Chain A
Amino acid sequence: MTPLLQLHHLSKSYKKQVAIDDISLALPAGKIIGLLGSNGSGKTTLIKLINGLLQPDKGDVVINGYRPSIETKKIISYLPDTTYLREGMKIKDMLDLFDDFYEDFSREKAENLLKDLHLDDNEMLKNLSKGNKEKVQLVLVMARKAKLYILDEPIGGVDPAARDYILKTIINNYSEDASVIISTHLISDIEPILDEVIFLKEGKIILQGNADDIREEYGKSIDSVFREKYNG
């Protein structure tokens, strides 16, 4: 089976600081993948490279056979670690926008998710709390039937109840031909749903593999392995 995402000797530096250092990997479809690392380990840079928001110094990113381009933007549903909502709009204006630009967006699904999270789509975005803005963004991203979901710190600012709901939504979206990459340093919360993990440190992959295999090999949880790798 052809991998959904391939990175070939990918490198990126900012001025003299190396952010991504010669990373190669291939990720299959149908998996939930944890991209784990401490702050400054290169997670967000890697995600920006995959989304075409940054250009690599060396190497290649290939998603479903394409380099980052309009074709890949059609199939990637990306949740950045910051809010990108246009403040002067209502929630339903954002639904219109996604409906207009993304063929795979399901308005019905978005409306149902909003209802479950007790969000009124007539509400102005600038009146929402930070946590509610994050929820709206997550709803927009998860209401697409994308091939690759990239979620950068998706559960950082929301309350535990919403956190559980969000994780459930992510699992429900997961299908045979779609993968989800979740970047986070809050590992214990998402550990139960992960199929694969990638540990990133100083721009390099220090550990990668099946979550069950790693737990078995180390005889402890991914969270404990993470603490050991980053504190030791």
Chain B
Amino acid sequence: MFSKLLKYELKFVGKWYFALNTGLLLIAALLGFVIKSLDTNPQSMNEIIPFFLFLILGALIASSWLATITIIVKRFYSHIFGREGYLTLTLPVSIHQIIISKLLVSVLWSIFNTLVILISIGLLFLPSVGIKETLIFLPSINDVLPFNNLLLLIFYTFMSNISGNLLIYFALSIGQLFSDHRILMSFVAYFSIIIALILFTTPLLEKFMPYDDLFSTPFFIYYILAFVIESSIFYFGTAYIIKNKLNLQ
């Protein structure tokens, strides 16, 4: 049943989302060549064209990011708290299966979106730098970046993504506890939790983490642990509200 839930989660994303991301990559690639030609021969082109291309690229990056967030929020909100909740919540699956299937697919889209944005930025400079030079540089990227542990960095990013998505779910669920202004209350919940987390963790961080230790192993371990604890609270809070406090309208 879990794999079927995943299948329908993946199906929900429309072709427009992929078209948007492909558009982003194409414009970035095009802009890369424009930058190169400006580099080699600054007089060759009207200044207005690169300006517009940059504007379009910026808009595309912003919209692909917004589209990802919208998909994550809308899928959770409409499938569980909207009318479709009558269907979702009476399928012969558990609430945990529903939340985890949505979470996994949200994480997948977040990673996909991040990769597309990173690649599109890479494409801007690729023609100027040259493919050969980039390929030579890539293996040494770990030495250049201030991270001495790439594996921990990947795990840190993954956990921060999970915790971020679960925070969205939890905030949406808290919004449902109110009879009116549910979306507004979700926003209030979201920002209140973030402020509370900052207020709560800053003293801890100051105590355990001297600032010169940024991106060190203890830094990563501290944050990964924090993300695990936060994620558990957000996850079980969400599941509790859906099971015990939800009244579909």
Contact = CB atoms under 8 A, between A and B. Distances in A.
A151 B234 CA distance: 35
Contacts of B7: 100
Contacts of B94: 70
Interface string A49-93: 001111100000000000000110110101010111110100000
Interface string B88-107: 01111110000000000000
A14 B245 CA distance: 11
A73 B92 contact: yes
Contacts, number: 52
B248 to A, nearest CB: 6
B90 A51 contact: yes
Contact of B247 (A48, A85, A97): A48
A102 interface: yes
A45 to B, nearest CB: 9
A73 B248 contact: no
A101 interface: yes
B92 A84 contact: no
A55 B247 CA distance: 9
A58 to B, nearest CB: 14
B4 A73 contact: no
A80 B84 CA distance: 10
Interface in B1-33: 1, 4, 7-8, 14
Range class of the B interface residue count: 20 to 34
Nearest to B11: A93
B89 to A, nearest CB: 6
Contacts of B84: 84-86
Range, interface on chain A: 20 to 34
B154 interface: no
A70 B93 contact: yes
B248 A53 contact: yes
Contact of B92 (A14, A74, A80, A97): A74
Contact of B4 (A74, A76, A101): A101
A101 B1 contact: yes
B113 to A, nearest CB: 21
Given A84-B83, A84-B84, A97-B8, A78 B247 contact: no
A87 B1 CA distance: 23
- Most-contacted residue by chain A among B83, B85, B86, B94 (CB, 10 A): B86
Contacts of B4: 100-101
B145 interface: no
B11 to A, nearest CB: 8
B87 interface: yes
Interface string B62-92: 0000000000000000000001111101111
A112 B237 CA distance: 44
A70 B247 CA distance: 19
A14 B179 CA distance: 11
Interface string B45-60: 0000000000000000
Contacts of A55: 243-244
Contacts of B248: 48, 53
A101 B1 CA distance: 7
Contacts of A70: 92-94
Interface string A94-109: 0001001110000000
B85 A84 contact: yes
A84 B86 CA distance: 6
B53 to A, nearest CB: 33
A101 B94 CA distance: 12
Contacts of B91: 73, 101
Given A52-B90, A73-B91, A101-B4, 8 more contacts: A53-B89, A54-B246, A55-B244, A70-B94, A82-B86, A84-B86, A86-B87, A97-B8
Interface of A: 14, 48, 51-55, 70-71, 73-74, 76, 78, 80, 82-86, 88, 97, 100-102
* 9 nearest A-B pairs in the assembled complex, by CB-CB distance: A84-B86, A84-B87, A73-B92, A80-B86, A74-B92, A100-B4, A70-B92, A101-B91, A55-B244
20 contacts: A14-B247, A52-B90, A53-B86, A53-B247, A53-B248, A73-B90, A73-B92, A76-B90, A82-B86, A84-B83, A84-B84, A84-B87, A85-B87, A86-B84, A88-B14, A97-B8, A100-B7, A101-B4, A101-B91, A102-B92
